[in-house]
Amino acid sequence: QQKVQQSPESLSVPEGGMASLNCTSSDRNFQYFWWYRQHSGEGPKALMSIFSDGDKKEGRFTAHLNKASLHVSLHIRDSQPSDSALYFCAASLRGNNAPRFGAGTKLSVKP
Amino acid sequence: AQTIHQWPVAEIKAVGSPLSLGCTIKGKSSPNLYWYWQATGGTLQQLFYSITVGQVESVVQLNLSASRPKDDQFILSTEKLLLSHSGFYLCAWRTPNSDYTFGSGTRLLVI
């Protein structure tokens, strides 16, 4: 049973557009969330962590967490071709528990 | 600055042959270390974690074993490879701000 579900599976946006990725947890015990980005052939890199309800903004990236609905999203504004990658949502019970990863969203940004 | 190094970068091995993959982290004492496995284009599955030398916990059974012979070293191994072991193996450590930093991975093809 997948406890961290991501949608869509793949997403294509034009350069300069907005990309929106979604993640829902089926386990109410998950309290800590991360977004990771993985370019082909590389290890994943942490983009953002979000542990509290509301928005968290870092540059072109904004994460939103709603713990009541167990939903976290990632919005990328002014998308660039270099943003093309596999994006993973990850969630854990506590900060020092290794996170459970979703299946990923493949983002393609077309020039 | 902490660095995480995995070796080898890639391996092609025969079914039934042994395997040993390594991970070293420098610049951090007593790190929490993790092994993940990723099928091509797939999600990340946690395999093992270790919080101290000589202590390793298994998360899933995939006919693999792990050891922590030194504070900065984490080894993944098996005596007999299966076709299903093919994939991308990633070592990670938990940073003080609870992000998980991954190495660049080892790509394994079992034939």
Task: Provide the residue-wise pLDDT of chain B in tens; the chain has 111 residues.
Answer: 788 999 999 999 999 999 999 999 998 888 999 999 999 889 999 999 999 999 999 998 789 999 999 999 999 999 999 999 999 999 999 887 778 899 999 999 999
Residue owning tokens 């370019």? A39
Tens digits of residue pLDDT in B42-72:
999 999 999 999 999 999 878 999 999 999 9
Contact check, Cβ <8 Å, A101/B43: yes
Give the residue from B2, B48, B7 showing the smallest Cα distance to B27. Answer: B2
Q: Counting every residue, how long is chain A? A: 111
Distance, first Cα to last Cα, chain A = 37
Contact check, Cβ <8 Å, B105/A103: no
Chain A CB contacts of B45 under 8 Å are: 101
**A88 at B interface, C-beta within 8 A:** yes
Kindly provide the b/e burial profile for residues B41-63, where b requires at least 16 CB atoms within 10 angstroms of the residue's own CB: eebbbbbbbbeeeeebeeeeebe
Residue owning tokens 């977004």? A35
d(CA A106, CA A102): 12
Contact check, Cβ <8 Å, A43/B99: no
In the structure, how many helices (H) and strands (E) does chain A have?
0, 11
